[in-house]
């Protein structure tokens, strides 16, 4: 299975001996299913802020890593992790203060209707739990997702993640709808078009005797191609699912935690209050902590009929880390930074579009940006080969991004929230050079 921006083993001969040896060890010890980024993989040994460093001490500007949301090796997060690990780490079947301290602070960032939190280790686990709860609450099993979506790696979620490729079969209870492509659909029609697709998917499920359980979407459609506008377009589709008896699950694993600048969560850009929200990745700045937030009436039947236990989900160290991350986001006003720096980057990218015909569209919010590359602007023909050259050209100049969309022709830009104005300038200057070199 080919992965976007993946290293091709047949090009290993161009790598230095040290990196070839590392790759050989990986293949021997880790097996064939892992993938590396970039035509020339990077041997990273250290991270700090918005920077990664290779084994030779070279600095790379990280414009892709949303996991280290408050910056690589953030001191406050590292200190919180070490302090708690030195005192206690156990599971949620004992009474501890940390999980409650975190839950109070975290739930304060949500609408009042969303008042129950359950913690897991990964976003995949969070989405898996959300689906279990949705099925108990609705009595249905059918799930509607977006084209080329990614929601996780468990057996249940892989069946709802078409971005994993054709070898991973979608479930019989899953229906895929076209992405809300505001580049090809007139802006005023995006919401209605997406809602019609969801309604058609619901009708098809019912025709097969499958009751709908949920509309599950990443609220910035990260893997579909980064579709953000117009704000509010998601509401009609959510209304259609609720009218059919299903729930709205907002997957905030990628867009959440202030990344979009205007709001803490992607669903808020659309003026919505979900039934369930799932979170992960940036929640622990690299530490494995994730979770799901519920309306109490949605979790009630599940909680009465079954228990939930996750050995590591909600442990004291994870809660200390997650609370430290949340405090840094608030204290350093990183949501505001995402809006300021991200807006400047979007404006700079649109200026580059005036110079380089390869750029067909620039879209995004805050520090989550998609740049669609096309061979013909009038036909909007995807340019995947050129996109790969841009991504690897940036890597050669030590600026890290990747690509998204089924064709792999959309630059995916989502740096740590500490990305500075100077970082943005370096990014734009480097991209201009790479596009000119094409």
> Of 276, 309, 332, which residue sits at a domain end?
332
> What total number of domains does the chain contain?
2
Tens-digit pLDDT profile for residues 84-113: 999 999 999 999 999 999 999 999 999 999
Tokens standing for residue 300? 């009630």
The Cα-based distances of 180 to 74, 254, 260, 330 in angstroms read 36, 17, 18, 31
Tokens standing for residue 53? 């460093």
* Residue 1 predicted with pLDDT over 50: no
Contact 241, 143 (CB under 8 A): no
Q: What is the pLDDT of residue 106?
A: 98
Tokens standing for residue 39? 């035509």
Q: Is the peptide bond before 379 cis (omega within 30 degrees of 0)?
A: no
Statement to judge: residues 284 and 414 lie in one domain: no
Distance CA(290)–CA(282), nearest Å, equals: 9
Statement to judge: residues 156 and 120 lie in one domain: yes
* Residue 392 predicted with pLDDT over 60: yes
Residue 245 buriedness (CB in 10 A; 0-12 / 13-18 / 19+):
middle
Distance from chain centroid for Cα 33: 21
Name the phi and psi angles at 113, rounded to 5. Answer: -65, -25
Contact 202, 212 (CB under 8 A): yes
Beta bridge partners, 117, equal 293
Left (φ > 0), alpha (ψ -120 to 50) or beta: where does 5 sit?
left
How large is the angle between the packed helices 75-85 and 316-331, nearest 10 degrees? 160
Query: Is 6 part of a structural domain of the chain?
Result: no
pTM passes above 0.75: yes
* Residue 322 predicted with pLDDT over 80: yes
Tens-digit pLDDT profile for residues 250-302: 999 999 999 999 999 999 999 999 999 999 999 999 999 999 999 999 999 99
Statement to judge: residues 224 and 107 lie in one domain: yes
> Of 315, 332, 349, which residue sits at a domain end?
332
CB half-sphere exposure, 216, CA atoms < 13 A: 35
Statement to judge: residues 288 and 200 lie in one domain: yes
Pairing state of beta strands 247-251 and 212-218? parallel
Query: Is 360 part of a structural domain of the chain?
Result: yes
Statement to judge: residues 39 and 187 lie in one domain: no
Q: Domain range spanning residue 254?
A: 75-332
Distance CA(401)–CA(415), nearest Å, equals: 8
Query: Is 10 part of a structural domain of the chain?
Result: no
* Residue 37 predicted with pLDDT over 90: no
């Amino acid at each position: 299975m080919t992965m976007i921006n993946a290293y091709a083993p047949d090009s290993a001969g161009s790598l230095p001996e040290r990196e070839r040896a590392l790759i050989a060890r990986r293949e021997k010890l880790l097996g064939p299913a892992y993938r590396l980024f970039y035509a020339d993989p990077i041997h990273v040994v250290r991270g700090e802020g918005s920077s990664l460093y290779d084994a030779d001490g070279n600095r790379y500007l990280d414009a892709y890593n949303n996991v280290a949301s408050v910056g690589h090796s953030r001191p406050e997060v590292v200190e919180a992790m070490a302090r708690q690990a030195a005192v206690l780490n156990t599971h949620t079947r004992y009474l501890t203060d940390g999980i409650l301290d975190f839950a109070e602070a975290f739930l304060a960032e949500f609408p009042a209707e969303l008042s129950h939190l359950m913690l897991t280790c990964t976003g995949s686990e969070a989405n898996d739990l959300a689906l279990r709860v949705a099925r108990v609450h609705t009595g249905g099993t059918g799930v509607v997702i977006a084209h080329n979506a990614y929601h996780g790696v468990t057996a249940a979620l892989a069946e709802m993640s078409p971005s994993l490729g054709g070898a991973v079969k979608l479930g019989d209870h899953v229906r895929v709808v076209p992405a809300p492509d505001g580049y090809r659909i007139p802006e005023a029609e995006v919401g209605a078009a997406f809602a019609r697709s969801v309604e058609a998917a619901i009708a098809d499920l019912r025709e097969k005797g499958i009751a709908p359980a949920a509309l599950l979407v990443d609220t910035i459609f990260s893997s579909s191609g980064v579709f953000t506008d117009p704000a509010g377009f998601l509401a009609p589709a959510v209304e259609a699912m609720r009218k059919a008896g299903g729930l709205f699950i907002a997957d905030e694993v990628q867009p959440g935690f202030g990344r979009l600048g205007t709001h803490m969560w992607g669903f808020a850009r659309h003026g919505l209050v979900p039934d369930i929200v799932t979170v992960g990745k940036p929640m622990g700045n690299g530490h494995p902590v994730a979770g799901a937030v519920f309306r109490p009436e949605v979790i009630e039947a599940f909680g009465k009929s079954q228990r939930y236990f996750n050995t590591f989900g909600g442990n004291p160290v994870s809660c200390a880390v997650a609370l430290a991350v949340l405090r840094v986001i608030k204290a350093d006003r990183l949501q505001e930074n995402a809006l300021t720096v991200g807006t400047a980057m979007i404006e700079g990218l649109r200026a580059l579009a005036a110079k380089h015909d390869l750029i067909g569209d620039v879209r995004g919010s805050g520090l989550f940006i998609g740049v669609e590359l096309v061979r013909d602007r009038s036909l909007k023909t995807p340019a995947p080969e050129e996109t790969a050259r841009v991504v690897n050209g940036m890597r050669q100049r030590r600026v890290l991004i990747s690509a998204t969309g089924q064709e792999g022709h959309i630059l995916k830009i989502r740096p740590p929230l500490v990305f500075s104005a100077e970082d943005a300038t370096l990014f734009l200057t480097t991209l201009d050079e790479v596009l000119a070199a094409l």
